[in-house]
Structure 1
Amino acid sequence: MRVRHSGERCIMTRRTVNNILLSGVVGSTAYGLAHEDSDVDRLGVFAAPTESLHGLHAPKESHVSTAPDRTLHEAAKWCRLALGGNPTVMELVWLPDELYEVRTPLGDELIDIRTTLLSARRVRDAYLGYATQQFRKLQNRFAADEHGTPARRRSAKHARHLKRLCHQGYELYTTGRLTVRVDDPEEYRRFGEQVAADPSAALPLLRHYESAFDRTRSALPEQPDESAADAWLRRVRAHFYTPEAA
């Protein structure tokens, strides 16, 4: 995918979304778990023109495309998701530098306040909640007696996500930092194949992390600092405010 920058404007092939503040490659490529058939997923934050927020109908909050695979959230929606501990949006502000494709000054400011968005309970609930969802998908797929290579690949992918979510969530909960790229990709692949053959093999890992969260004191505060996100969002709104001519 080609990206062309012009100040705060970023134009991507196939669809134009203005005012992209921060965007990068996420998903399996970022985790170090991609294979030759993997899609390249992109995630970003954009700012709606401030004037468009004043009317009867709010502008679209998300733009999702499949060619290329890309999700862009409006700044306010991204902040709400991040403050809730959403693992998918959170990784955007913890990417290695080389995976960012669009960085603006306001995007860098968002990276700078990333730790203020975190809170112990929301991180625990979000990451363990997402991991539990992956386990249920594994159980349901196995119960449906899906066989064959495609089904096994999907199950292995769910298992890898389960393990990653547990590990990353616990790291974030205990240290206040997130390492997006996994330490040992082959270990994750072996785990995925094992669980694809027998979903119950994932349960000890899930129970281990549930117990670890319960007995460990978090490095995170009880509540996120919403004032930091609010101040950033107000700077975004001021930057993109252009009054219409009378």
Structure 2
Amino acid sequence: MFTAHSGTAVDRSADRPARDLRRMQRVVAAAVLTIPATAVTIGRLFMTDDSDTRKALDEIAADPSRQQVVVWLGFLSALTVVPAFLALGRLAKRRRPVLAAVALGVNLAAYLGGYAMFAIDGLYLAGAGVPAEQRDGAAALIDQTWSTGASGLSTALFVIGHVIGAILMGLALRGSIPTIGWLAMILSQPGHVVAFVVFQNVVMDSVAWGLMALCFVIAAIAVLRTPDDEWDLPPRGFGTAPAAG
């Protein structure tokens, strides 16, 4: 704000102390960290077996509320997963800056590029909503979407980047969070492989996501315990008295 003083305009905004938002940022980051993997962990328990797409559409049509839970929890996860990984990267970078930067880059590519994984959950719900005689066409469209064009690339990017990125981030978090936390992040990935490749069981995949959620919760506690000066630089001018006169 400018005021007149002896015929000269004076900027009074410089007299205002800078507002330090670092504590609030840590609280918000900790809250966000608890959401994405937890949402997917719960959502997996409501998923319909999609090994046969046509059969899955009929099952969803009989009880669409389960797929609605999957879709909305998937949306919540997609909304928060990137900020959550940014918080993990910030937490890890003080001890392992290079590995944290690489891990963050891989995870951001996987989750920002893996939009199709969340969108296809919505396709199942939409396909189940069409008349029964049209579901063969809806099933064929979903099957084609999985593997062709940008959706196919998005799916591959998510699967590969998610696995590699989680392992790298777990390694980057060593020393920044307790061992059980970063180890849970790493072990979650072979858990996904066993769940889908060996047993094809969504409950086991939910357990794998639960391990990842455990790491996020432990990291959230570490973020809350991190001093402001270790979390970020203070705002310019914070803690200094305004000049006299």
Which TM-score band (shorter chain)? 0.3 to 0.5
* TM-score after normalising by structure 2: 0.32
* TM-score after normalising by structure 1: 0.32
Bigger proportion of residues as strand = 1
Higher relative contact order (CA 8 A, sep 6+): 2
Report which of the two structures shows the higher radius of gyration computed on alpha carbons: 2
Bigger proportion of residues as helix = 2
